[in-house]
Every structure is written in C-alpha cells, then in structure tokens.
C-alpha cells in the first residue's frame, strides 16, 4: 500500500505543521523576546432612546477596564527589586523539547512557559498589582453620541480599552448602540413613518390633524379629497444625516380612512340624500341592509360639484349645512374652505 508521507505527518502532528519549526535552528539563536503588547479592545452596549439617537446625546457609562499599575509602571516587580534569570530556560526565553517519533528524534522549540519568553522573572512582586502590572479599575467616562446614529452603530473611544501588559498601550473601547423604537413611529434611514387615522368626512373635506413627531406635536394638513393610503409628508422632520447633520429626512404619514360600520338614522338620511344627488334618485333596495354587504356610497364626486350646474351646487350647499351640523367643529374649517371654493 502506498502511503503519502505528508498525510502521516499530518496525522502525527494533528494537522498542525508547527512541529517543523523545531527543525529550523535559526529561531533558537534569536535573542529572548521582550514584547510590549497592546491591550485588548472592550465592547460596551448602550441602549438609546428613540429621540436620543436622532438628535444625539451625551452618555455617562461606567466601565471596568485594566489600567497600567502606577506603582510599578506595569513591570509587576516591587520597586527596587531586581529581576532574576529564569531557571527554566536559563535566560534564553525559549525551551527545546525533543520527542521520539517513528521517523526519529524531533526537536521543538517553544517559548519558555515560566518567563513567557522574557528570560528573566520577577524576584519580588509589586504588592499593588500582585505582579500583574495591571489593575482593574471602574471608571466613568462620557461618550458623545452624534445625531443620526442607528441601531447597530458602533462608536470607537480610543485608548479606553484594557491597558497592555508590561506598560503596553491600551486597546480601544467600542460602544455598540441599540435603539428603543416607539410603536407609532418607524424609522428607515433618515426618514420616519407613521399612520394617521381620519374619518371619511375629514378625508373628503380636509382637516388639520395633531400628530406626534420627534419635534413634539405638530399640525398635519390633510387636504380635501385625500384618498386612503395617501402619504402626506412633514418635510425635514425626520432624522439628521449622520455625516451631514444639516440634511434632515422627512416624516411621512400614511392616511387611514375610517368608514363607520354603524351610522345613526339621521346620518343615513343625509347620506341617502347625498347619494340621490349623484345618482339622480337613490333607490333603496333593502330597508335594513345586511352589515356583511354594506352599501357603498361614493361621495368623492359630489365634493367637487361643477359650478356650471347651479342646481347641484345649491343642493350641495344645503347638504353642506346639514353635514356641518353633524360633523361638528372638526369639519367646520374645511367646510368653510369648501364653501369659498365651490
């Protein structure tokens, strides 16, 4: 059976070819390591309110990170004490292990586990940090959140991660943002989306609706003849662009028109009269129509009654008086507008 020796090596060394580094004697001659490593980065999660994310804010966060011990300056040894040569590696920082394999003796060089490659060890530890060179500190820092950040945005605060070992430079703090979402406003990029519910009379006559925006309560003008599903925008009431805060998105309102399922006898009278205007005689097919098959009366055409037809215009005027009576004050302004424009 033919055997690929390469496969065998992989089997013996568990797929790692690290064993071969031991055959390269040049690495053994290199001087002991004295590495100053940069500290670890830290992640911190912050939940922002909806408007905080839109307009920006300042957050105080309390984080726990490692700082270089100020007593020993990160060395970990007691002040005035001397380092002593590592007895494990004799000061070389590396150790050689020889293994017997079916192919002969293999030597492997690795970093000394006692001194971590330093070649010398601390003889007396710093009391403050117990020789670690770093101490854990709780610290409050202020993070400035710019306007327009979105869910999943990450802010980098340089130098607020863990300090490096042996006095090495610190890593960074990454503040990861999550944002609370209100039920009535949805955000997509720089635009905001809401729905506004109006009555069918308001849709026909137009009205002013109070709506909630991120700037507070605002007036949304519903023009006469608004259709269900129409989108009305409050320009520049959305989210500022993160990169260009002078640019601001819009707040878009999708109109929902409520058609009443039950109406009073008086309302029915008026609506039937209204229907007769457009049909030239409304025919009641059912004295008590089943709710499952409601009779749809389309009113839109009547609102824009043409001026040439004076009879119709007069009739519309009468209807308007009655309508104003029962629609109440909401429709008043719109009715006035309608009168002026008929």
Which residues of the shown chain bind Zn ion in the complex (CB under 5 A)? 69, 71-72, 86, 88-89, 112, 114-115, 126, 128-129
What count of Cα atoms within 13 Å lies in the side-chain half-sphere of residue 302?
26
Q: How far is the CB of 30 from Zn ion (least distance, A)?
A: 14
Is 188:54 a contact under the CB 8 Å cutoff?
Answer: no
How far apart (Å, rounded) are the C-alpha atoms in residues 14 and 127? Answer: 42
Is 78:72 a contact under the CB 8 Å cutoff?
Answer: yes
3-class SS string, 157-221:
ECCCCCCCHHHCCCCCEEEEEEECCCCCCEEECCEEEEEEEEEHHHHHHCEEEEEEECCEEEEEE
Q: How far is the CB of 143 from Zn ion (least distance, A)?
A: 29
- In the complex with Zn ion, the residue whose CB is nearer, 77 or 237, is 77
In a 3-state reduction of DSSP, which class is residue 224? Answer: coil
Instruction: Give the pairing type, strands 154-157 and 94-101.
Output: unpaired
CB atoms within 10 A of CB 38: 15
Q: How far is the CB of 33 from Zn ion (least distance, A)?
A: 10
- In the complex with Zn ion, the residue whose CB is nearer, 120 or 230, is 120
- In the complex with Zn ion, the residue whose CB is nearer, 53 or 129, is 129
Q: How far is the CB of 71 from Zn ion (least distance, A)?
A: 4
Q: How far is the CB of 83 from Zn ion (least distance, A)?
A: 11
- In the complex with Zn ion, the residue whose CB is nearer, 84 or 156, is 84
- In the complex with Zn ion, the residue whose CB is nearer, 109 or 342, is 109
Q: How far is the CB of 115 from Zn ion (least distance, A)?
A: 3
- In the complex with Zn ion, the residue whose CB is nearer, 112 or 335, is 112
Q: What are phi and psi of 115, to 5 degrees?
A: -105, 5
Q: How far is the CB of 112 from Zn ion (least distance, A)?
A: 3
Is 299:273 a contact under the CB 8 Å cutoff?
Answer: no
The distance between the two most distant Cα atoms of the chain, rounded to a whole number of Å, is 115
C-alpha 196: how far from chain center? 25
Geometric angle at alpha carbon 194, from 333 and 331, rounded to 5°: 15
Q: How far is the CB of 45 from Zn ion (least distance, A)?
A: 31
- In the complex with Zn ion, the residue whose CB is nearer, 53 or 72, is 72
- In the complex with Zn ion, the residue whose CB is nearer, 19 or 131, is 131
How far apart (Å, rounded) are the C-alpha atoms in residues 161 and 143? Answer: 14
- In the complex with Zn ion, the residue whose CB is nearer, 77 or 207, is 77
Instruction: Give the pairing type, strands 251-258 and 191-199.
Output: parallel
Q: How far is the CB of 136 from Zn ion (least distance, A)?
A: 12
Q: Hey, CA dihedral for 151, 152, 155, 159, is it positive or negative?
A: positive
Geometric angle at alpha carbon 49, from 47 and 53, rounded to 5°: 90
């Amino acid at each position: 059976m033919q055997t690929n020796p390469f496969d065998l090596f992989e089997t013996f060394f568990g797929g790692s070819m690290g064993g071969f580094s031991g055959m390269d004697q040049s690495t053994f001659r290199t001087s002991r390591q004295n590495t100053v490593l940069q500290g670890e980065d830290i992640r911190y999660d912050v939940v922002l309110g909806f408007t905080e994310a839109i307009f920006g804010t300042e957050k105080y966060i309390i984080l726990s990170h490692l700082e270089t011990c100020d007593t020993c300056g990160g060395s970990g040894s007691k002040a005035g004490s001397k380092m002593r040569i590592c007895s494990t590696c004799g000061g070389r920082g590396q150790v050689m292990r020889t293994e017997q394999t079916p192919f002969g003796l293999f030597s492997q060089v690795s970093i000394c586990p006692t001194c971590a490659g330093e070649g010398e060890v601390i003889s007396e530890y710093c009391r403050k940090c117990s020789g670690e060179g770093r101490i854990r500190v709780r610290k409050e820092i202020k993070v400035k959140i710019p306007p327009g950040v979105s869910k999943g945005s990450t802010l980098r605060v340089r130098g607020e991660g863990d300090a490096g070992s042996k006095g090495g430079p610190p890593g960074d703090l990454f503040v990861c943002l999550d944002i609370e979402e209100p039920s009535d406003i949805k955000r997509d990029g720089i635009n905001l989306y809401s729905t506004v519910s109006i009555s069918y009379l308001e849709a026909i006559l137009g009205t002013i609706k109070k709506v909630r925006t991120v700037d507070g309560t605002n007036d949304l003008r519903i023009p006469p003849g608004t259709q269900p599903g129409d989108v009305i925008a409050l320009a520049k009431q959305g989210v500022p662009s993160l990169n260009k805060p002078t640019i601001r998105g819009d707040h878009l309102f999708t109109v929902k028109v409520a058609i009443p399922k039950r109406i009073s006898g008086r309302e029915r009278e008026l609506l039937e009269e209204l229907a007769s205007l457009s049909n030239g005689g409304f025919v009641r097919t059912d004295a008590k129509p089943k709710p499952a098959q409601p009779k749809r009366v389309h009113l839109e055409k009547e609102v824009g009654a043409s001026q040439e037809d004076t009879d119709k215009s007069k009739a519309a005027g009468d209807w308007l008086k009655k309508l104003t009576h029962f629609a109440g004050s909401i429709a008043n302004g719109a009715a006035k507008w309608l009168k002026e424009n008929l």
